[in-house]
Amino acid sequence: MNTMTIAIDGPAAAGKSTVAKRVAEKLSFIYVDTGAMYRALTWKAIKEGVSLEDEKGLKSLLNHTELNLIKNELGQRVILDQQDVSDQIRTAEVTNQVSIVAKHKEVREEMVRRQQELVKDKGVVMDGRDIGTHVLPDAEVKIFMIASVDERAERRHKENIEKGFPSDLNQLKEEIRKRDEIDSNREVSPLVKAEDAIEVDTTSMGIEEVVHTILGIVKEKA
Ligand code: C5P
């Protein structure tokens, strides 16, 4: 059980990371947020002026980038070249461009290699878009989390308001739709439910209910 791998995939803002984090805590597993890795590279590319359409340029940038996902007193943090960029990678500027960076084959190959490296012989919960299909094809548990676009936008909107961030519900819906469209239609490992994944529709479920459902599935497989 303590080397089990759990893959959680699904569209943007479906609550994957919140749920994955809780499931990992409950099981004392490590949690790997793969979206944060693509976000961190996007942030660095924007900062360094590398075009987000330049596959070779992005791959070379990634080759010269140290990325660490750590847990400290502030919670899960993303460290890029020794700098904590956890907040910077959640801005609208990064969120609305990350899918362009994530389209590139060479970038994905390197990211997948690093992600696989992180989980050797460990109990892990990993979330993303291609975990069950490419990163951990042999994961014991594969979950595909979905929710309607309206529900996902409402959740994000509420979160923004709570954090005191400006937020426009219709704009959020549009951004989520657009990101899903790029992620689902790209040539390399598009967002798709793995054949052996269990679909969990969280539209009318609370976080604890989703966590409970997933833990139930894990228990059955253990
Ligand atoms: O999960 P999150 O919303 O932070 O992911 C940000 C973006 O990173 C996604 O919209 C997608 O373009 C990309 N991504 C990916 N493959 C993953 C995780 C994230 O392509 N495994």
Query: Average pLDDT per run of 10 along the chain, which is 222 residues long?
Result: 90 95 96 98 98 98 97 95 97 96 98 94 95 97 97 94 93 97 97 98 95 97 86
Instruction: Calculate how far, in angstroms, residue 2's C-alpha sits from the geometric centre of ligand 1.
Output: 26
pTM of the entire structure?
0.97
Closest ligand 1 atom, CA of 115?
21
Residue-wise pLDDT tens digits, 164-200:
989 999 999 999 999 999 999 999 999 999 999 999 9
Pocket test for ligand 1, best of 19, 87, 94, 99 (most atoms within 8 A of CB): 99
Q: Residues enclosing ligand 1, CB less than 6 A? A: 12, 34-35, 38-39, 98-99, 102, 128-131, 179, 183
Residue-wise pLDDT tens digits, 70-83:
999 999 999 999 99
Q: What is the dihedral of CA 11, 17, 19, 21, to 10 degrees?
A: 160
* Alpha-carbon gap, residue 92 to 180, rounded angstroms: 15
Query: Is 190 annotated as ligand-binding?
Result: no
The pLDDT assigned to 120 comes to 83
* Alpha-carbon gap, residue 172 to 64, rounded angstroms: 33
The pLDDT assigned to 1 comes to 60
The pLDDT assigned to 77 comes to 97
The pLDDT assigned to 85 comes to 98
* Alpha-carbon gap, residue 172 to 63, rounded angstroms: 33
